[in-house]
Amino acid sequence: MAAALIPRGLFLVFVLSNLGFLANAQSRGNRTAFFVFGDSLVDNGNNNYLATTARADSAPYGIDYPSHRATGRFSNGLNIPDLISQHFGWEPTLPYLSPELSEQKLLVGANFASAGVGVLNDTGLQFVNIIRIYQQLNFFHQYQQRLGELIGRDEAKMLVKNSLVLMTLGGNDFVNNYYLVPYSFRSQQYAIEDYVPFVISEYKKVLKRLYGLGAHRVLVTGTGPLGCVPAELAMRSQNGECSAELMKAAALWNPQLVAMLDQLNSEIGSKVFLGANTNQMHMDFITNPQQFGFKTSKVACCGQGPYNGLGLCTGMSNLCSNRDEYVFWDPFHPSEKANRLIVQQILTGTNTYMYPMNLMTVMNIIDSRS
């Protein structure tokens, strides 16, 4: 999200259709392209090119990135897309707005994400100039036209069809919309029990559009423990307890997201979904941080005020010396270490976290068909 990206208790759903296409592509020596859509959990620098306050382009962001410089990632180092690419030996995707994304770099894929966006167009209005989700999809269509000019239309369609896509949305529709201010427009319009199905129905339209643009393998992340991030603890908690109201929203969202994806899968004819219960992964960190080598799951490494959860992470903020001891890097976003643990579960996790199989099992199936 931008200044509100939620370490989501992500429910990832990986739409796996037509695995044989990917196997055929690999047998021809073609690479697997990677495309990323969503908010600040996965934005790797698009907002650097926009006039918006939803930015992470100054220190101490990027303090542990290989260049030790802020890149636009809302992290002390690498984020989830980076770590997925790293595991598979793929070149990291570039932000779509980067002037470096041209020629052969287009074959790697692209990152269209923009901090602050949500499923709804009225989410994140305070950030003004961000790439809302349908504009991200329009850029994806534009990307395919550019790719077709480079390698031919048919090859471009095949590259997209054989790609892996990550979609991360939803958290901002709560923290930067429904719960942003008391008596928000959406909270007056809907009870939370009605708001969640409304947003889910709008999300389904987004995913159908993505599928219509040729994406056939899509990781869809839900929200995580919204009420447990340092920003919400600072505003709502009396004694360090998670916000019950926001946790209720997350509890409503994730099952309905999975049901919608099942329905969508049936409608489009996909047969296999890979779900990652990253909500449970994150709750593991929160309930027992020491088991995972963290010192705290309540206090952000970078910030100010209670739990370092108020305002933005800036050069004037409190800054921890060892980022690996903190679940949260800033008031909303996980640290690189937390991201690494989440990605490891996505790759190799048991059925407690991954259903019906983990990502490595899927990739091994693909390899066996090549």
Q: Where are the alpha helices (DSSP H) in 132-191?
A: 133-151, 153-161, 172-173, 185-189
Burial of 154 (0-12, 13-18, 19+ CB in 10 A): exposed
Q: Is the peptide bond before 99 cis (omega within 30 degrees of 0)?
A: no
The H or E element spanning position 303 is strand 302-303
Neighbours of 244 (CB within 10 A): 10
Active site (annotated) includes residue 64: no
- β-sheet with 272-277: strand ranges across: 109-111, 34-38, 164-168, 218-221, 10-16, 272-277, 354-355
**Which one from 114, 282, 284, 333 is the annotated catalytic residue?**
333
- Whether 282 sits among the annotated catalytic residues: the reply is no
Among the listed residues 98, 282, 330, 335, the single catalytic one is 330
| CA–CA gap between residue 20 and residue 74 (Å, rounded) | 36
Catalytic, 40? Answer yes
Q: Which of 258, 266, 272, 268 is nearest to 16 (CA)?
A: 272
Q: Residue 118: helix, strand or coil by DSSP?
A: coil
Written as one string, the DSSP assignment of 42-60 is T-BSGGGGSS-S----STT
DSSP state at residue 178: I
Count, residues in the chain? 370
Cα separation, 179 vs 156, whole angstroms: 41
Measured distance CA(337)–CA(325) in Å, rounded: 8
* C-alpha distance from residue 11 to each of 38, 259, 346 (Å): 14, 11, 10
Contact 325, 294 (CB under 8 A): yes
Query: Which residue out of 40, 163, 243, 297 is catalytically annotated?
Result: 40
Catalytic residue set: 40, 330, 333
